[in-house]
Structure 1
């Protein structure tokens, strides 16, 4: 199931029609970001691979954070949120992902085979459904209403645990961890209506008659923002 379908499922559950504006992140820059995104009720950065359009995605995550626009980052979108926060809030100016910049000094996202025993036989992708423990008092807990969830993964890069302390000290909440505590599965800004990044693919579990809790929460936050404009 696609992200677009999952958004529509949430719209059905909220008796609202979701209008999706597809934006090529390669076209975003400091000069046009406000004009392009300023009227959006929510910003979502879905999964993907490679470095194409990454700078524009980081600008979008920054714009969402600074303007309190609901932000939902899925897989790559979570990694984008972490990089943006590291650079612009935690003061790690050259923070990046090992996927985009192998020579980067501060790889806040990297291929971390030592952190996970659950990569596939080819040694590259973490695939399948895995449990995640949700931290109390977080936006994640508000969305799911439970302490343990199971979600489907398809990725090879992870949050680099070497930067846990620096990012949490700067205000980023690590709201979901693997049961052994080794893997950061979700991040958020808990004081926002919705600013969440997840390493997994929640769209895979959304259904027309059962919207996924995170898509429901995101669309609900977007509707509330629209009402307060």
Structure 2
């Protein structure tokens, strides 16, 4: 089994994030530091450590929905004295991690789990799982800018995939937009809005596919129902 897949099954992080952890030199296999991809492990024979802690495959899978407040970083450990989303999750014994990321200044729907395979399906672009947001931006974008946004914009030398965007409400100096994407580039929506000349003032994720926050209060969390878990696994 590839090392990053084993790490995901142990609830360390998603496969993609596990690859980054390996490249950072934070992983040991049988007390040998692994900092390159391609290593395979035998779960019944090899001892794997992350940050000098032995990891093992989680038997009990956990699936959590959090209504993330602004001001929390979407990581499993704090490096700079910031609040992390795991500070909001109490009473869960299993080692869980966030599925994807929300910026510190972005609020809304965030899923956490120890199921690396589900995390992979929900975050990898090839599965095209839609994430929907409400964005308050400066000014009101016209039809020409909305069309450009929908068709894709060139960010960091690469075109973004087609996206959904509609003006929901107009104010004197700002507007409320509904935006849906299925990619997950770093600060993608903020950068796309800035690209068309309408910087984001506030941003909230409201859904992942058909899964929504409903009446879950800001800063609160709950376990997903079995029906919700089954739905996500078939996406």
TM range (shorter): under 0.3
Larger gyration radius, structure 1 or structure 2: 2
Q: Which has the higher contact order (CA 8 A, sep 6+)?
A: 1
- Greater fraction of residues in helix: 1
- Greater fraction of residues in strand: 2
